């Protein structure tokens, strides 16, 4: 659907999901959707200008260098009709390992990405990290103890649900 001309014309010219429709607004880019939801609800909202900028810094890092690589990696490895080229997968895995290392170090000295309370920066960064290790071929939590503890912390927050429990279309047909 996101690739059809109709979708680009009527839903999102960038040809991507997610898209958030709320009242008269139609928003895309997960960081924009998260910012809007945090401002509207007051939940997971960075507290000050410094926090807002810091959250944006981590959301951009995430979109480009963590989930921005994990998404295509998982797609090529697990979902694509043609298996991914090993050179491409190797390149992406190297970038993912580097980004996971940066995040793990960040979380060594603070419970959440910005400090002592969870914000939209955490919600952006966890995006793909609860998917089963088999989908990646490596176990993120087993190899990064600070990320593992942070994922448990977020999982304990009120209202947390596994992505497969809230997204339509899982399990995929034939899997």
Ligand X SMILES: N[C@@H](CCC(=O)N[C@@H](CS)C(=O)NCC(=O)O)C(=O)O
Cα distance between residue 27 and residue 37, in whole Å? 11
Cβ closest to ligand X, residue 29 vs residue 146: 29
Cα distance between residue 30 and residue 36, in whole Å? 10
Instruction: Report if residue 35 touches ligand X, rule: CB under 6 A.
Output: no
Binding mask 46-85 for ligand X (x = CB under 6 A): -----------------x-------x--------------
Cβ closest to ligand X, residue 2 vs residue 90: 2
Cα distance between residue 31 and residue 55, in whole Å? 10
Stretch that binds ligand X, among 15-23, 115-123, 138-146, 167-175 (CB under 6 A): 15-23
Contact 96, 104 (CB under 8 A): no
Stretch that binds ligand X, among 16-24, 87-95, 114-122, 155-163 (CB under 6 A): 16-24
Sign of CA dihedral 54, 47, 59, 93: positive
How many residues form the binding site for ligand X (CB under 6 A)? 10
Instruction: Report if residue 135 touches ligand X, rule: CB under 6 A.
Output: no
Q: Which two tokens stand for residue 58?
A: 């981590």
- Compute the chain's Rg from CA coordinates: 17
Among 30, 35, 99, 119, binds ligand X (CB under 6 A): 30
């Amino acid at each position: 659907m996101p690739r059809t001309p109709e979708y680009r014309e009527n839903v999102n010219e960038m040809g991507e999901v997610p898209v958030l429709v709320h009242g008269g607004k139609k928003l895309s880019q997960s960081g924009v959707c998260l910012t809007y939801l945090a401002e509207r609800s007051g939940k997971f909202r960075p507290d000050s200008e410094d926090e807002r900028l810091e959250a944006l810094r981590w959301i951009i890092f995430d979109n480009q260098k963590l989930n921005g690589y994990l998404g295509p990696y998982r797609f090529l490895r697990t979902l694509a009709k043609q298996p991914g080229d090993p050179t491409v997968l190797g390149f992406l895995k190297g970038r993912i390992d580097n980004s996971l290392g940066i995040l793990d170090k960040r979380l060594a000295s603070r419970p959440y990405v910005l400090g002592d309370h969870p914000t939209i920066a955490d919600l952006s960064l966890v995006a793909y990290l609860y998917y089963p290790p088999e989908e990646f071929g490596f176990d993120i939590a087993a190899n990064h103890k600070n990320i593992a503890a942070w994922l448990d912390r977020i999982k304990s927050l009120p209202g947390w649900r596994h992505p497969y429990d809230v997204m339509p279309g899982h399990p995929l047909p034939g899997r």
